[in-house]
Amino acid sequence: MPAPEHADSLNEAQKRHLLASYQYADKLLSEVESILSAANSRSPFPRYRPDLSPVQVKIIEDYVARLRAQMVRTLSGLGIEPPEAQFGSLHAIRVTLGFADIAFEECRPKRMRGYGEVPEALLAEMNGAVDELQSLLARLNAFLTEGVRQDLAARLESLERTVADLDTLKSLERIIRERGLVEFRPALAAIVERLESGAFEIAVFGRVSSGKSSLLNHILQEPVLPVGVTPVTAVPTRILYGAVSRGRVWFADAAPEQFPIERLVEFVSEQSNPGNQKHVTRVEIELPAPRLRQGVVFVDTPGFGSLAEAGARETRAYLPQCDLGVLLVDAASTLTQEDLATLGALYEAGVPAQVLLSKADLLAPPEQERLRSYVSEMIRSTLGWRLPVHAVSVKAGYEAAAEGWFQSEILPLYDRRRELSQRSLKRKIAVLQAGVQAALQTRLRRLTGGAPAEATLLREIETALRTASGWFSEAQQRCFRITDRLRQDANSALLRAARALMRRSGRAAELLDRAFREVAVEAADDLAAILTDLAEQATGVLHRAASAFQLPENAPGEDELRSLLREMPRWQASEWSAEVKPNQWLLKLSPALEERRLVRRLRRQIGPRVAEAFAGYGRSLESWARQTLLDLQSHFETYAEAYRAQMERPTAQGAGSPDELAALRRDLEELGNMGARTPI
């Protein structure tokens, strides 16, 4: 029962009314504060004119504070307690960002058909604009998810003063933060994390089923990682020393949790976590393994070329973070363009690499030597590197080669762990410093009244990058139209087969297989043409941007993107046992009637098999196209982000003033002097 009301106090209804009125008044005062802040807003869509003097703003703020204090005192005197906040600001911001994401999605041309058809020439640019905006929102969401871990300044302060080049990192953090260079935050965060851990990370890369997990299990001398012939690793798995065996997993939308290592497969396998539906962001395994005692960490990465597309993206995002990359090449196949692209990405990130031919037990010693020589020469001629190539196997009876490689190449790194880790960090800091420096130089040129022609060129480059981003979604739609049609192309394939039987002589099975193959190859050729054209056009845009920003060393090679178009799935030849042959009399009398008769007979005899074959090949081609598009887009965005960092961004009022220019020059001078500091 409610407490009895006294004659000299307000009743509950009156208190609720008073509190609601004060809350509404406070909301109106908050609107006054938002109007005041409009004077300093960087919004490109200002609602209010900044027509208040600083004195007026200060007096208004004082009155607002006095009003609020008076309201609190009044309520307190009447025995009314203001309610506590109902929602956390972090939660509210993330919900609001979700609505912003929906608002951006509504700006796609396909969502705007009710307002009239969007000109075809603008489709790619508008889709690209939405992709860019949603990508920025996703990064902001990821930043919010990390919480205090993203306070890089505080984390740098907590590091020991004995950490070399700490002042350089603090300067870079300040410049990135003050100049709004958010594109460089992920690289800086990776460096800070490495300094905090003090570990030397050896990451194992390679295509699906190349033997990464098996090799790591052999090194750890314990079957910790799941092994299988299907894609199993959906996210990178870090393996480090711990007093007891346990696992830890972090999620994008839930609290971290610990788990017994037997449950690892639930988080890192494509079967148990398809497409990373559980939103796993990080997995660590702690083991009391002797080979982990000296601060060396091994990382099992998702395989390239897998149907686990999210996992492949995670691998590319992780590439710059390791200190040594070990690339496994399946000895049963050979070096692929994707393997070369992985080595190239490691090189660009300043990460040394080693190459292993896995499953070498499948080859005789002379064949092993020939393949080693071939792979070594391909790397030298393509990338200009001279890398040793080791043949290894973990199959029972063949482990000596793998153990020999570990003893000769990896164990010596343990004693040099600190030195190598410092060298690795130095390379990463140098790459980050160069990028920040280029961004500030571009901004300084613009603010000092760069030529109008330069400003126009920069706007053209920005539009070109945005349009190129939209090409990927357009290409995906075109590719999927082809594969959707192919999956349902059994009828047209049967029609072509019937015509082949009518025109040619020979075994029916061969004629049928040739006709079906022609239909499949035409679709595959169309896909290859779309993606080849996309790779070439995107490369052209990146080269133009690199030239405009005077960053030729950051431009992709001529064939770099095109090399990501790996070998397509092939149509599998089959024996089509159909008892059908043309009726010569009907063929002369009415070819059209004979054609329909043959199609009906083929449909009855092999129709279901043909439909199943085309549906399966269509799915294979779609998976290949989807993965290839992701590879192309990821590679494109790696370069494009570096160029976007040079673009004009919102600046405080008075940008281009003597104070702003002086501050920019001081930052550039500070960046230029970093090279003279004590190296790490």
pLDDT tens readout for residues 58-83? 788 877 887 888 888 888 877 888 88
In a domain, 62, yes or no: yes
Among 57, 84, 111, where does a domain finish? Answer: 84
Q: What is the mean pLDDT of residues 458-480?
A: 87
Alpha-carbon distance 50 to 421, whole Å?
A: 52
Query: Is the separation of the CB atoms in 510 and 607 below 8 Å?
Result: no
Alpha-carbon distance 38 to 365, whole Å?
A: 74
Q: What is the mean pLDDT of residues 423-441?
A: 79
Name which residue leads in pLDDT, 204 or 198: 204
Q: What is the mean pLDDT of residues 114-140?
A: 83
Q: Is 485 found in the same domain as 411?
A: no
User: Where is 259: in which H helix or E strand?
Assistant: strand 257-259
In a domain, 440, yes or no: no
Tokens of 526: 């169309």
In a domain, 111, yes or no: no
* DSSP label at residue 353: E
Alpha-carbon distance 56 to 53, whole Å?
A: 5
Residue 461 has a pLDDT of 85
Query: Is the separation of the CB atoms in 267 and 235 below 8 Å?
Result: yes
Dihedral Cα 505, 510, 512, 513, nearest 10 deg: -150
Has residue 477 got a pLDDT over 60?
yes
Q: Is 410 found in the same domain as 306?
A: yes
Has residue 306 got a pLDDT over 50?
no
Has residue 409 got a pLDDT over 50?
yes
Residue 258 has a pLDDT of 92
Q: For the chain, what is the mean pLDDT?
A: 77
Name which residue leads in pLDDT, 500 or 304: 500
Has residue 312 got a pLDDT over 60?
no
Residue 31 has a pLDDT of 84
Q: What is the mean pLDDT of residues 344-370?
A: 82
Residue 527 has a pLDDT of 92
**CATH code for the domain in which residue 274 is found:** 3.40.50.300
Q: Is 461 found in the same domain as 362?
A: no
Alpha-carbon distance 330 to 356, whole Å?
A: 8
Q: Is 405 found in the same domain as 471?
A: no
Residue 415 has a pLDDT of 67
pLDDT bin (cut points 50, 70, 90) of residue 292 is confident
pLDDT tens readout for residues 583-596? 667 667 777 877 78
Domain extent at residue 63: 21-84
Helix (H, G, I), strand (E, B) or coil at 344: helix
Q: What angle do CA 196, 202, 207 make, to 5 degrees?
A: 130
Has residue 289 got a pLDDT over 50?
yes
Tokens of 237: 């798995």
Q: Is 486 found in the same domain as 410?
A: no
Alpha-carbon distance 571 to 613, whole Å?
A: 9
In a domain, 179, yes or no: no
In a domain, 556, yes or no: yes
Alpha-carbon distance 392 to 591, whole Å?
A: 62
Helix (H, G, I), strand (E, B) or coil at 506: coil
Among 69, 84, 99, where does a domain finish? Answer: 84
Alpha-carbon distance 177 to 213, whole Å?
A: 39
pLDDT tens readout for residues 147-201? 545 567 777 766 665 556 778 888 888 888 888 787 787 778 878 877 776 677 8
pLDDT bin (cut points 50, 70, 90) of residue 506 is low
Tokens of 570: 């092939």
Q: Is 605 found in the same domain as 512?
A: yes
CA torsion through residues 195, 198, 200, 201, sign: negative
pLDDT bin (cut points 50, 70, 90) of residue 648 is low
Total number of residues shown for the chain: 680
Q: Into how many domains does the chain fold?
A: 3
Q: Is 479 found in the same domain as 408?
A: no
Q: Is 507 found in the same domain as 637?
A: yes
In a domain, 184, yes or no: no
Tokens of 574: 């089959």
pLDDT bin (cut points 50, 70, 90) of residue 417 is low
**How many alpha carbons fall within 13 Å on the CB side of residue 619?**
6
Alpha-carbon distance 524 to 482, whole Å?
A: 9
Among 84, 118, 133, where does a domain finish? Answer: 84
Q: Is 490 found in the same domain as 384?
A: no
Query: Is the separation of the CB atoms in 261 and 224 below 8 Å?
Result: yes
Q: Is 319 found in the same domain as 212?
A: yes
pLDDT tens readout for residues 230-284? 445 556 788 988 888 999 988 866 778 899 988 888 888 777 877 677 877 788 9
Query: Is the separation of the CB atoms in 252 and 278 below 8 Å?
Result: no
Q: Is 328 found in the same domain as 384?
A: yes
pLDDT bin (cut points 50, 70, 90) of residue 452 is low
Question: For 19-23, 598-602, 673-677, which range has the lowest pLDDT when averaged over its residues?
Answer: 673-677
β-sheet bridge partners, residue 246: 286
pLDDT tens readout for residues 519-544? 888 888 999 999 999 999 999 998 88
Has residue 474 got a pLDDT over 70?
yes
Q: Is 470 found in the same domain as 356?
A: no
Could you tell me what percent of the chain has a pLDDT over 90? 4
Q: Spell out a b/e string for 312-336, using b for 16 or more CB atoms within 10 Å of the CB, else e.
A: bbbbbebbbbbbbbbbbbbbeeebb
In a domain, 420, yes or no: no
- Burial label, 539 (beta-carbon count in 10 A; 0-12, 13-18, 19+): buried
Alpha-carbon distance 252 to 273, whole Å?
A: 14
In a domain, 170, yes or no: no
Query: Is the separation of the CB atoms in 437 and 668 below 8 Å?
Result: yes
